[in-house]
Amino acid sequence: MTVGIVGAGQLGRMLALAGYPLGLDFLCLDPARDAPAGRVAPLLHGDFTDRRLLTRLGRQCEVVTFDWENVPVSSLRAITRAHRARISPPIAALAAGQDRVAEKRLFERLGVPTTRWRAVSSRAQLTRAIDALGLPGVLKTRRFGYDGKGQAVLRVPADAERAWRALGTVPLLYEEWVPFDCEVSIIGARSTTGELAIYPLCGNVHGAGVLRLTCAPFGPARWQRLAARYLTRLLRHFRYTGILTVEFFVRDGRLIANEMAPRVHNSGHWTIEGAATSQFENHLRAILGLPLGATRALGHSAMINLIGQMPALRDALAVEGVHLHDYGKRSRPGRKVGHLTVVEPTARARDARARRLLADLAVGVRIP
């Protein structure tokens, strides 16, 4: 059985590595010849809109998934025209996640608390949005945002003009700034059979818009229940198949949805060593209609992203219990090139380990 992956980044790579033990084969499509998943699985090298390659993917695979939320919806539709591969997760979920306005409306419709927002497509609308929601706020592109890209924080009225000049060429949305206590995410799978499996809540710390640290399990049981309830609404709404992730701000014990990602998620990388079944394996099980694996945590995990360049392999492996994941990418400032995970028997031991590792790696973030 061959699973197609549109996009051959680190998520595709870890999907393939999780799928091989299940006896699955993989075929990726990516415009980068040296894409991370292309080093562990066959790669169709070409543009995401290359009809010939999309048709090949659709013909050679039983099911096609994607490892990037900005894959053109039209590309996935083109794959279905090969009349073989199913697309999973559903295209509708991808489409909703690609448009921040559609996403916000969906959250509201399903009773998932989210930040207040206004669509902005003119300078005048931006002024009205700031009047309505106040400052500070965040101006975001409706589409193609990830890892803090396509965003500008507005703190004082004068910031509006600068932000408009930077982003105003495309449809935007203005959101209130939530002075959050912490950020969490919930990751869960729904299988083609309707079976659900939801992971323990993740506590996330970002730096410069990029995830730096995830600790899991995280937070009180009440947060877990709330997050799982909201996630379940979304999974059911889409008759979703695969892993879906929702990120929340936590403010005074309330969960406020920030965004969703219709895919395995960086904040779930700890599940490779830290959960009974990894998010990658459960994504594959879910899209293939196989029984889902247990999502329980095996201990207390911390996952630290390695940004820009990998530490020396020798140094990283010298630290007992560190599980290293090198994505095989070239170094580049701000780029996610790998991550490491530690699993400890207690949250206290985990936090102590994470603190030392963050210091060693000179990552300036604090344990949540």
Give the binding range for its own copies (CB under 8 A) out of 19-27, 64-72, 85-93, 138-146: 19-27
291 binds its own copies (CB under 8 A): yes
Concatenated DSSP letters of 215-239: EES-S-HHHHHHHHHHHHHHHHHTT
359 binds its own copies (CB under 8 A): no
Instruction: Out of 22, 132, 166, 359, point to the residue binding its own copies (CB under 8 A).
Output: 22
Structure-token pair, residue 41: 């699985």
What's the rounded Cα separation, in Å, for the pair 37 and 18?
12
Nearer to its own copies, 64 or 288 (CB): 288
321 binds its own copies (CB under 8 A): yes
Structure-token pair, residue 5: 């992956």
Q: Using CB under 8 A, which residues numbered 325 to 344 contact its own copies?
A: 325-328, 338
Reduced to 3 states, what is the DSSP secondary structure of residue 41?
coil
Q: Which residues pair with 297 in a beta bridge?
A: 275
Q: Which residues pair with 176 in a beta bridge?
A: 137
Nearer to its own copies, 121 or 193 (CB): 193
Nearer to its own copies, 34 or 47 (CB): 34
Q: Which residues pair with 141 in a beta bridge?
A: 172
Structure-token pair, residue 327: 């994505």
Nearer to its own copies, 100 or 325 (CB): 325
Instruction: Out of 56, 263, 300, 323, point to the residue binding its own copies (CB under 8 A).
Output: 323
Give the binding range for its own copies (CB under 8 A) out of 115-123, 130-138, 212-220, 323-331: 323-331
Q: Using CB under 8 A, which residues numbered 261 to 290 contact its own copies?
A: 276, 285, 290
39 binds its own copies (CB under 8 A): yes
What's the rounded Cα separation, in Å, for the pair 280 and 368?
25
Assess contact for 275 and 220: CB atoms under 8 A. Answer: no
Chain centroid to CA 324: 20
Instruction: Out of 166, 170, 317, 359, point to the residue binding its own copies (CB under 8 A).
Output: 317
Size of the chain, expressed as the number of residues it contains: 368
Assess contact for 285 and 189: CB atoms under 8 A. Answer: yes
# chain residues binding its own copies, by CB under 8 A: 32
In single-letter form, the type of residue at position 89 comes to: P
Residues at the contact surface with its own copies, assessed by CB under 8 A: 13, 16-17, 20-23, 25, 39-41, 276, 285, 290-291, 293-294, 298, 310, 313-314, 317-318, 320-321, 323-328, 338
